[in-house]
Chains A and B, each alone.
Chain A
Amino acid sequence: MIANIVANYLVNKGLISVEQYSALFDELSKVRAKLGLIAVHEGLMTEYQADTVNMLQATMDMKFGDLAVEKGFLTPDQVQEMLKKQGDPYLSLAQALENMGIMKLTDLDHLMKRYQAENEMSTSSIEALKSDDIERIVPLFMPHDADDYKDIVLIAAKTIMRCVDNNIYPLKAYYADEVEALNGALQFVDGNPCLTTCFCGDGNSLLDIACEFGKEDFPTVNEDALDAVAELINCINGLYASAKSAERIRMELFPPEFDDCIEGIKGPRMLVMPMIVGDKSVNLVFLIGERIEFI
């Protein structure tokens, strides 16, 4: 998720091309952060020291960690700690960007500071982002007074990642009484409080979700495709009802509905979370305490 968010930011800022964006994910699938990059990131070595060890490695058959210890730059314990961080998602992203010659770790750190300032985020929020932990990232994109929605939004995001696409990422969520859309699927869940979950979009924005979840090549977002989207919503709401039953809250799922010819959806103060799935933006819309209706 951090890779998608940063890569999208880089494209928007004109710092990488769309081709580099795609290539970055190929590189990410192969990359593992090198110890030198981790040591610099952790402030244990300077870039100069890391480059020195890298150069020595070209002439000596020794591992980076062993050489750095021999040179007195690191202790064996520090090397062990760094080895544990090799799968760190932020550092892997930094390594992939460096491997592609796009930017060094220090440049990425500067970029993250710029992103932080532009989005008025705290340092702890940026750390949450770097963790790549969906449970910490998704709430960053929700309004501050949307705590009641946290469970359903997280269940929706995690279910989409599990059943549709692992490379999704959220955009800033907001409240609205109406949302324009050309097609959508929704399900009302009765309970105290009740809930409506709706996925809607323009044109073919729901197509990837429908094809992946329904395991069928739908040509367009027709009724059959929306039926698949509705089934995904049914699974999401089922998991939400299951979680709520642990709090002794009983919820009853109603049959999902869908429509491929709408002008939008409406409901009082709906929480709208745009989510990028594939290369398309889909609106995940939730309303606790009321029904959402197609317009």
Chain B
Amino acid sequence: MANILIVDDSRTSRRMLRAILEEMGHVVVGEGVNGEDGFLKFKELKPDLVTLDITMPKLDGIEALQLIRKNDPEAKAVMITAAGQRDKMIAAVKYGAAEFITKPYEKEEVEKVLKRIL
């Protein structure tokens, strides 16, 4: 089971994802409320995996991903997207995102994605 950091500006979204991850037996070690906060929490908590919402204030998910991978080139990141974010997804792959999960969350999809990368 993995230590996971959730980064999303939406409290609802963080709570929903946390519930799924904890039900799967993972430990949510922290939550970031925007890209900047997420990067700082990543450095502090050193999780096995970070989930990054793409659309966030201050630093968005792609910008946070760049900082995180610069800090730790081995960092595993799953991008959280609404549908229709194709360009952002391409950019995320370029900067080292391992996988994507689309909102609204479906437990089966989250499980499949995490199995592939953990």
Contacts and interface: CB of A to CB of B under 8 A. Distances in A.
Given A234-B103, A235-B82, A255-B56, A250 B87 contact: yes
A194 to B, nearest CB: 14
B45 interface: no
Given A215-B16, A235-B104, A238-B103, A255 B82 contact: no
Nearest to A223: B11
A163 B102 CA distance: 15
Contact of A241 (B10, B56, B84, B103): B84
Contacts of A238: 81-85, 102-103
A237 B12 CA distance: 17
A253 interface: yes
Interface residues of A, dominant DSSP: helix
A98 interface: no
A287 B75 CA distance: 40
B10 A253 contact: no
B15 interface: yes
A254 B9 CA distance: 12
Contacts of A240: 84
B11 A253 contact: no
A227 B85 contact: no
Given A227-B11, A227-B12, A255-B57, A234 B84 contact: no
A68 interface: no
Contacts of A215: 16
A224 B84 CA distance: 25
B82 A237 contact: yes
**Most-contacted residue by chain B among A224, A253, A254 (CB, 10 A):** A253
A217 interface: no
- Determine the interface band of chain B, counting residues with CB < 8 A from chain A: 20 to 34
A26 interface: no
Contacts of A235: 82-83, 103-104
Given A231-B103, A234-B55, A253 B84 contact: yes
A251 B87 CA distance: 9
A240 B57 CA distance: 21
A231 B10 contact: yes
A190 to B, nearest CB: 11
Interface in A237-279: 237-245, 250-256
Contacts of A239: 82-84
A3 interface: no
B84 to A, nearest CB: 3
A255 B55 contact: yes
A273 B87 CA distance: 31
A245 B86 contact: yes
B12 A224 contact: yes
Given A215-B16, A238-B103, A230 B10 contact: yes
Nearest to B88: A252
Nearest to A228: B12
Nearest to B57: A255
A241 B104 contact: no
A252 B82 CA distance: 11
Contacts of B13: 231
Interface in B38-59: 55-57
Contacts of B86: 242, 245
A177 interface: no
Contacts of A255: 9, 55-57
A102 B26 CA distance: 56
13 contacts: A214-B16, A216-B15, A231-B10, A235-B83, A237-B82, A238-B81, A238-B84, A238-B102, A239-B84, A243-B84, A251-B84, A254-B55, A256-B10
Interface of B: 9-13, 15-16, 55-57, 81-88, 102-104
